[in-house]
Amino acid sequence: MSVVLQGARANAPGDAPAAGLAARKADFPILARSVRGRRLVYLDNAATTQKPEAVIEAEARYYRESNANIHRGVHWLSQHSTDLYEESRERVRALLNAARSEEIVFTRGTTEAINLVAYSWARTNLKAGDEILITTMEHHSNIVPWQLVCAQTGAVLRVAPIGDEGALDLDAFDALLGPRTRLVAVAHVSNALGTVNPVARLVQRAHAVGAVVLVDGAQAVAHTAVDVQAIGCDFYAFSGHKLYGPTGIGALYGRHELLQAMPPWQGGGDMIRTVSFEASTWADAPQRFEAGTPNIAGVVALGAAIDYLRSVGIDRIAAHEHELLAYGTRALEAIPGLRLIGTAAGKAGILSFTIDGIHPHDLGTILDTEGVAIRAGHHCTMPLMKRFGIPGTARASLALYNDESDVDALAAAIRRAQDLFEGK
Ligand code: PMP
């Protein structure tokens, strides 16, 4: 995948060259457990990834050794905790190659990051007749916030179509851009298809008509190097839990001039400069958007997840998952009655499929009895499923700790499910 993604950058010095990641399974304690008496084969990584010991330990250590509220304390522990929190912001900045750490706002995850932009930027900048352009493959969290904005402002949601293989129709996308387009919101990588969108190119075209661009990076950051300056986007959102970090923490990158011009979206402690009953004034970004006591332990553990990712080497991970995707594609294509949904040329490690005569939910349940964890359903992409004329798919999604034995277990379990349904 590293070769196909736009906005990719070289690894930091010290990252090792591409090599097998077999030993890394041992970094994830949960992978040693059994499920229903079977070895756990975890292939639901697009929903959430498992956590390495380093991340689990970082969160526990924070509570054991460093816990105090941040920013407001004069005592040593509060300053120490603040330092850890802000060091994680710097790690996120480096992960995304943002120009400055003030461009990183901590949020609960991708969903909250997108909603922040919808509430703060969109509601103040859009008016009736303005257009928001998304694509058919967006996750509900990159659809519904914009529908809410449209309902409030009179703006109009436009949707760029995709082809049968699941690639964005670039000509149609370009044709939908115009003087009314104020915002483009697009996934970097589709969670349901694995399609990698040419985000730098999309940003270029969108900027040419004066639109602001938000990239939903939920499915990208753990799988490829991301460079927001190379992509050129105005906003970039991601979730820590899909990046081997904890749940309940993520971040929004926003260009500094944009963030500084945006009003707060939640009021409370830590986001103000002064408060009086007559009027209050706001802190600069990013504090302006971090009202109340944040998920400090989550932020610290997210920093540990980024350290872990970099120690393995993001380009090694990308190469490994790319090879495993090719292996998995061959294995699944060999199964009669199996139809892959999402076969675009540039793809990340997602295998979405249907099987003749077996509902995805039934398949997921049968696979579960064999310890194989996949996801079945619409994957929070109901309009996309409608586009393919199906209620949902079964989806196996890869992470750095998966290997050929996991894919073999998946393929074997699918064949046994088929035998079961055929009464063999
Ligand atoms: N966008 C995409 C492409 C996703 O895959 C997901 C998670 N499935 C989200 C947004 C939402 O992420 P979260 O639930 O962590 O906020």
Tens place of pLDDT per residue across the chain (424 aa): 333 344 434 334 334 434 568 889 999 999 999 999 999 999 999 999 999 999 999 999 999 999 999 998 899 999 999 999 999 999 999 999 999 999 999 999 999 999 999 999 999 999 999 999 999 999 999 999 999 999 999 999 999 999 999 999 999 999 999 999 999 999 999 999 999 999 999 999 999 999 999 999 999 999 999 999 999 999 999 999 999 999 999 999 999 999 999 999 999 999 999 999 999 999 999 999 999 999 999 999 999 999 999 999 999 999 999 999 999 999 999 999 999 999 999 899 999 999 999 999 999 999 999 999 999 999 999 999 999 999 999 999 999 999 999 999 999 999 999 999 988 7
Residue the block writes with tokens 């730098």: 200
Q: How far apart are CA 186 and CA 143, in angstroms?
A: 10
**Which residue among 107, 108, 110 has the greatest number of ligand 1 atoms within 8 angstroms of its CB, and so is best to mutate?**
110
Measured from the CB, is residue 139 less than 6 Å from ligand 1? yes
Please tell me if the CB atom of residue 110 comes closer than 6 angstroms to any atom of ligand 1: yes
How far, in Å, is the centroid of ligand 1 from the Cα of 252?
Answer: 13
Evaluate whether 318 touches 167 at the Cβ level (below 8 Å). Answer: no
CATH 3.40.640.10 in the chain: give the residue spans. Answer: 55-310
C-alpha 418 – ligand 1 centre gap (Å)? 31
| Dihedral angle, C-alpha 222, 379, 5, 210, nearest 10 ° | -110
Query: Which residue blocks in 45-188 are alpha helix, DSSP H?
Result: 53-61, 76-96, 110-116, 123-125, 144-153, 170-176
The residues annotated with a catalytic role in the active site are 380
CA of 132 to the centre of ligand 1 (A): 19
Q: Is 249 in the pocket of ligand 1 (CB under 6 A)?
A: no
Residue 238 to residue 219: CA distance in whole angstroms: 8
Residues ≥6 apart with Cβ < 8 Å to 150: 132, 156, 157
- What is the C-alpha separation between 203 and 215, in angstroms, rounded? 9
350-355 and 338-340 as β-strands: parallel, antiparallel, unpaired?
antiparallel
Choose the residue to mutate in 142, 197, 239 for probing ligand 1, maximizing ligand atoms within 8 Å of C-beta. Answer: 239
Centre of ligand 1 from the C-alpha of residue 273, in Å = 33
How far, in Å, are 260, 263, 288 from residue 283 at the CA level? 10, 10, 5
Q: How many A from CA of 218 to the centre of ligand 1?
A: 5
Nearest CA to ligand 1 atom 5: 191
Residue 273 identity: R
Domain 55-310: which CATH number of 3.40.640.10, 3.30.470.20, 3.30.460.80, 3.30.43.10: 3.40.640.10
Distance (Å) from CA 274 to ligand 1 centroid = 35
Domain with CATH 3.90.1150.10 in the chain: 22-43+313-421
187 lines ligand 1 (CB under 6 A): yes
When the candidates are 3.40.50.1110, 3.90.1150.10, 2.10.109.10, 1.10.274.30, the CATH number that belongs to 22-43+313-421 is: 3.90.1150.10
Atom of ligand 1 nearest to the CA of 47: 8
Q: Is the CB of 379 under 6 A from ligand 1?
A: no
The whole model's pTM is what? 0.95
The preferred substitution site among 106, 117, 138, 191 for testing ligand 1, maximizing ligand atoms within 8 Å of CB, is 191
Tell me which residue has its CA closest to atom 4 in ligand 1. Answer: 218
The count of other CB atoms within 10 Å of the CB of residue 418 is 20
